[in-house]
Structure 1
Amino acid sequence: MSTPNQAPQPPPAERSARFLCVPNLSEGRRDDLIDQLVLASRDPEVRLLDRTSDPDHNRTVLTLLGSADGLVRSITALVHAAFDRLDLRLHQGVHPRLGVVDVVPFVPLAGVSMRDAVQLARRLAAQLADAAPVFLYERAAPRPERRELAAHRRGGLPKLIERMRDGSWPPDHGAATVDPARGVLVIGARGPLIAFNVDLDAADPAAARRIASRIRQSAPGGLRGVKALGLALPTRGVSQVSMNVVDPSATSLLRIVERIREEARREGVELLASELIGLMPEQAALGALSEALGLPGLGLDKIVEHHLAATPARATGE
């Protein structure tokens, strides 16, 4: 029984159920605004695990961990705060986008299934339908042709508005009317994904675009589970191969870097550095390390800190 000033607690199984949510915001330059949006997303049942911003992409990626109810509250507040503070018409950045809150994927973790993540995505989409048109993607998509994020982004927001008006691509929730300051929302459910970038020492993005076109999964001889774009990063004077590794078990990060290095040599450019946006699964890190060191089967059982974290300290004394 709860006390008069204490909210009833959910059952243990529900409290242990956890999802990741990775909202992408179309603002990566104004730290004060980003701070306000992060503050709006705070909830007792949600933890902010990571915040990554980039001025050239003009984008911020948040990684949130929480319960279904907590994340619905958190993302609803975040969306409304972004609609109040951001204006897509004023946005400039190299990253494709359809809204000030561009994509909101849910990833099932402890105690939940992909089906639960799909239900959560659809629940949030229905709740936000009065605020903006909502499109569902990946596993939450109602039809196969809507699964790929690229299918929604094709031609950018102006083309999407045309498709909405002619009825060929209606939103899954909400009216087919777009506030140009807000754009649309794209909400989905997916498995773990690694957002991974490699910078090249060329300001002209032409080489990066050619490399991206050769390594992406859809290309002949491309890397499985890799989606790639070539972009310019004007503030750094470099270019970038920007990737989503949608199946980390299919192609290791080491293999991706090695392939880009091979392609860069063909283009006469050099690799400068790689970049991780948000978080990645531990097995992806261990897999790349295992491959690099020639240590097959390297696992957490070989990591000292894993044993320290897993084994509670026992008091000693007389």
Structure 2
Amino acid sequence: MNMQTWKLVYLAARKAGTAGSINSDISWRLQCMTYFACGTIQLRKIKMAALTAKFRLAACLLNISEGRRKNIVEKVAKAAVCNEHGRSVVSACVEAYNLIDMNEHHGIHPCLGAVDLVPIYPLSESVSLDECGAVAQSIAEELTHQVPGCSIFYFGHADQPLNRSLVERRKELGWFNSCFNLNATRPDVGTELSLRYGLTGVGASPYVMNCNVTLDSQDLNAGRKIASSIRGVNQGGIQGVQAMAFPHVGKVEIACNVESVKEEKPTTSVMESKNFVSYRIGGQCYVYATPQTIEARVQTLAEHYGFGTVGIALVGFTPQKCKSLAEIALSQGAAEFWKKQERVYM
């Protein structure tokens, strides 16, 4: 499985869907690496161990509402690359607002804005969620200054003092059942909502990974039941997994958000340790379900309905891979690193 990187600085882009196909209904997701700097240093002269100690890393997985036009995605990505002032996320968002008109948007995947989601995730253990929340708020304020008319809602650690999750905020806004009421919605930052820009979510949370499992079937009803069965909030579901089913290129796709959740107690068995991966941020241990665990569960459920699966697509990176690539890119000079990457294999 491969991912086109578009030869970018700090940034990789891949559509949310099965590798090798273009789905006009599903947005593209851009991954931006950013960092908290601790002093001025010459990156090319530093060993990786020293680099890791000097930089406190965070990531932004930018979601834009575009799945048809590759040239639009490239322009948004290049806007991040060409920014020389350390504001690559803001630059990419501004470009997306300029290029995407929600009045002309068509698709079945739920979305609220031209720039749909700007989540900030801590990668380094020393980076706290509160710090990421403050960065998210700064991005939101700057966006409303640079793009008059855009509107933003906060989630997670940017949503102070309530810290409401993205799911909670989306439920309040009608994201899941397409009953979004433009006139009744009050943004946290910005002006009244415009039809052109829509509503953008900006926030901070532990890392959320995205993976999609394609069913070898067109049975959307069965797909919805499988998605419901693996949701972490349901009995017997997979902890931290949110899932929805969508038609996709003549098949049905189970699209999963895989949250990193606090580990309340150490894994108690070899089986559990194989199903979840743990890492630390802000002095707290978090775990997330592996893509293999999700694929295996979906396969088992699909067999119950008399069909199998085609494959799984990891959209972006695991938290560890994201951090590792950011460290390597910074050690080599981010621009040079991404220029050399014709393909990133996962």
TM-score normalized by structure 1?
A: 0.69
The CA deviation at 1:107 is: 1.2
Return the letter of the residue paired with 1:237: G
State the Cα RMSD in Å.
Answer: 2.9
Q: Percent identity?
A: 28
Equivalent of 1:75 in 89, 92, 105: 89
The within-5 A match list for 1:150-169 is 151-152=169-170, 154-156=173-175, 159-164=180-185
The CA deviation at 1:148 is: 2.6
Give, in whole Å, the separation in 1 of the partners of 2:174 and 2:244.
Answer: 15
Aligned partner of 2:256 in structure 1 is 243
| Conserved? CA contact 1:145–1:151, under 8 Å | no
Aligned partner of 1:11 in structure 2 is 39
> How many aligned positions are there?
246
Deviates more, 1:241-250 or 1:268-277: 241-250
Return the letter of the residue paired with 2:58: F
Q: Which has the higher strand share?
A: 2
| Conserved? CA contact 1:88–1:181, under 8 Å | yes
Give, in whole Å, the separation in 1 of the partners of 2:143 and 2:128.
Answer: 23
Q: Which has the higher contact order (CA 8 A, sep 6+)?
A: 2
Q: Does residue 171 of structure 1 match 2:192?
A: no
Return the letter of the residue paired with 2:118: V
Give, in whole Å, the separation in 1 of the partners of 2:247 and 2:161.
Answer: 34
For structure 2, list consecutive stretches of 5 or more residues without a partner in the other structure. Answer: 1-36, 42-52, 261-276, 278-286, 325-330, 332-346
Matched residue SS, 1:96: coil
The within-5 A match list for 1:34-113 is 34-43=73-82, 70=86, 73-110=87-124, 112-113=127-128
Return the letter of the residue paired with 1:215: I
Aligned partner of 1:277 in structure 2 is 315
The within-5 A match list for 1:178-189 is 178-189=193-204
Aligned partner of 2:302 in structure 1 is 264
Equivalent of 2:247 in 232, 247, 251: 232
Aligned partner of 1:313 in structure 2 is none
Specify the structure having the higher radius of gyration (Cα): 1
Give, in whole Å, the separation in 1 of the partners of 2:162 and 2:242.
Answer: 18
Give, in whole Å, the separation in 2 of the partners of 1:155 and 1:245.
Answer: 21
The CA deviation at 1:250 is: 4.6
For structure 1, list consecutive stretches of 5 or more residues without a partner in the other structure. Answer: 1-8, 46-68, 165-169, 285-299, 301-308, 310-318
Return the letter of the residue paired with 1:155: G
Structure 1 residues 10 and 142, CA gap change in structure 2 (3 angstroms): closer
Matched residue SS, 2:195: coil
| Conserved? CA contact 1:196–1:242, under 8 Å | yes
Give, in whole Å, the separation in 2 of the partners of 1:229 and 1:141.
Answer: 25
Structure 1 residues 268 and 282, CA gap change in structure 2 (3 angstroms): same
Aligned partner of 2:223 in structure 1 is 208
Return the letter of the residue paired with 2:79: A
| Conserved? CA contact 1:196–1:276, under 8 Å | yes
The CA deviation at 1:43 is: 4.6
Deviation digits for residues 274-304 of structure 1, max 9, x if unmatched?
Answer: 00101113489xxxxxxxxxxxxxxx9xxxx
Give, in whole Å, the separation in 2 of the partners of 1:87 and 1:208.
Answer: 31
